[in-house]
Amino acid sequence: MAISLLERVAAALFGGAESSADEAAERQLIADSIEAVVEAVEPRVRLNTRYREKLEGCIRKTIAHLRSIGRQPLEPLLLSRAAWNEDPRLNAFFATADDVPACLGRSTELRTFFEDPANRDVAEAYALLGMKKEERTVLAPQLVGNEVRHDVPQVTVSFSGHRLVAPAPTLAATRLEVGRRAIERLAQVALSRIITLDMKATELQEHKAYLGARLRVLNLARDGVEGIVKDPALIAEEIKAVERELKETVDSYIEAKASLATLDGYIQRIDEVFSHPEQHITLTHTPLRLSRMGIKVDEGSTEAVNELVVPELSIGDGLQAAIAIARCPRSELPPKEDLIAKAERYL
């Protein structure tokens, strides 16, 4: 059920068509979204008879945010060796023309897609291209006036770690897959918070047991033979310190279990994430002016430049990637034998 619900929600938000203004359709979208999220994060939340009411507000916020992402244009990028000289985005993303088919060949998902008998007549696939964008300041030659200087600080922009995911026969299908993964990312964050809290409760429980045992040892030391040879005041002082730490640990354990073990605790974790989706998924568009060598060029420069806008997807925890919807021609996919031969040369 969760998969079909996620697909329905993704279709409504990332299907490419304008969202329906029909009130009944909107209510259905909210209901589907709530059920998809609950199923993915913690199905037991349904035991709370008011879970739909409690989650409606945060789900509305997430729907609005994902809609804003879904409306943003992502013009498909043709991944072909020949296009490398003509397309400024392709020229910026790949250091050489040969790197383009090499990227296609490395994608296990893309090769599996084309090898599927159901896709044998598909000449071109769409996929999401993800890359790491890195900016560095270097000293490089630059024409300053009529003089070439060799130590001018310049900013280089490079792209690495190219990955192709979610191949599909149509642009719409790839957009739907991106939307589904965005929703799953939010569910992942909420579930991770529940797991983290559960781990914290387990650690506190173990520490509580350790402190309890330590306290028993100290009481035995105070009342036993050790109390004859060791200053009882020192033992009593250590007992008080352990008792204080034990009380703090017990209080923290009770708080952690109370916020986790109840259905309201699960709902609170979901609400924390889905009330602030912009903290976990954002899509921005960064304009760039780059030379053919990947060096940033000022607005006033007269040299030839690649002007492009780079979509950047951030999914929290410092995870960010430059992305593009890629058109992947079957004809550009190198044979497996070529990849094996190339790999053997480096062994």
Please report, to the nearest 10 degrees, the dihedral formed by the alpha carbons of residues 181, 19, 281, 93 taken in order. Answer: 80
Beta strands in the chain (DSSP E): 77-78, 124-144, 147-168, 282-290, 306-314, 320-329
User: Cβ distance 310 to 286 under 8 Å?
Assistant: yes
- Of the chain, the percentage scoring pLDDT greater than 90 comes to 36
Per-residue confidence (pLDDT) for residue 322, from 0 to 100: 92
Q: Which residue's structure tokens are 């923290």?
A: 252
Please report, to the nearest 10 degrees, the dihedral formed by the alpha carbons of residues 222, 226, 232, 234 taken in order. Answer: -100
User: 295: which DSSP letter?
Assistant: B
Q: Which residue's structure tokens are 């809290």?
A: 197
Backbone angles phi, psi at 207, to 5 degrees: -70, -35
d(CA 98, CA 106): 13
Tell me the residue type at 97.
A
H or E segment at 23?
helix 23-41
d(CA 74, CA 91): 17
How many other CB atoms sit within 10 Å of the CB of residue 246?
Answer: 17
Average pLDDT over residues 218-241: 65
Backbone torsion region of residue 16, taken as left when φ is above 0, otherwise alpha when ψ lies between -120 and 50, otherwise beta: left
Average pLDDT over residues 330-340: 78
User: Cβ distance 332 to 100 under 8 Å?
Assistant: yes
Is the Cα torsion angle 146, 151, 157, 159 positive or negative in sign? positive
Rg of the chain taking only CA atoms, in angstroms: 29
* Ranges 111-115, 162-166, 220-224: which has the least confidence: 220-224
Is residue 323 scored above 70 in pLDDT? yes
* Ranges 77-81, 126-130, 160-164, 211-215: which has the least confidence: 211-215
10 Å CB burial of residue 175 (0-12, 13-18, 19+) is buried
User: Cβ distance 164 to 109 under 8 Å?
Assistant: yes
Per-residue confidence (pLDDT) for residue 3, from 0 to 100: 47
Is residue 295 scored above 50 in pLDDT? yes
Per-residue confidence (pLDDT) for residue 96, from 0 to 100: 93
| DSSP per position, 242-283 | HHHHHHHHHHHHHHHHHHHHSHHHHHHHHHHHHT-GGGT-EE
Is residue 225 scored above 60 in pLDDT? no
pLDDT bracket for residue 296 (50, 70, 90)? confident
Per-residue confidence (pLDDT) for residue 214, from 0 to 100: 73
Is residue 344 scored above 50 in pLDDT? no
Is residue 318 scored above 80 in pLDDT? no
Nearest CA-CA partner of 275 in 190, 193, 184, 179: 190
User: Cβ distance 310 to 342 under 8 Å?
Assistant: no
As given in the structure block, the two tokens for residue 273 are 């994430």
- Of the chain, the percentage scoring pLDDT greater than 70 comes to 78
Across the strands, what pairs with 144? 147
pLDDT in tens, 4-34: 677 778 777 776 555 555 788 888 889 989 9
How many other CB atoms sit within 10 Å of the CB of residue 152?
Answer: 14
* Ranges 38-52, 143-157, 166-180: which has the least confidence: 143-157
Q: Which residue has the higher pLDDT, 259 or 48?
A: 48
User: Cβ distance 273 to 280 under 8 Å?
Assistant: yes
Question: Average pLDDT over the chain, rounded to whole?
Answer: 81
H or E segment at 178?
helix 171-223
User: Cβ distance 295 to 91 under 8 Å?
Assistant: no
Average pLDDT over residues 332-337: 84
pLDDT in tens, 157-209: 999 999 998 899 998 888 888 888 888 888 888 888 877 776 666 666 776 77
Q: What's the Cα-to-Cα distance from 37 to each of 49, 184, 325, rounded to whole Å?
A: 16, 8, 26
pLDDT in tens, 53-107: 999 999 999 999 988 888 888 889 999 999 999 999 999 999 999 999 999 999 9
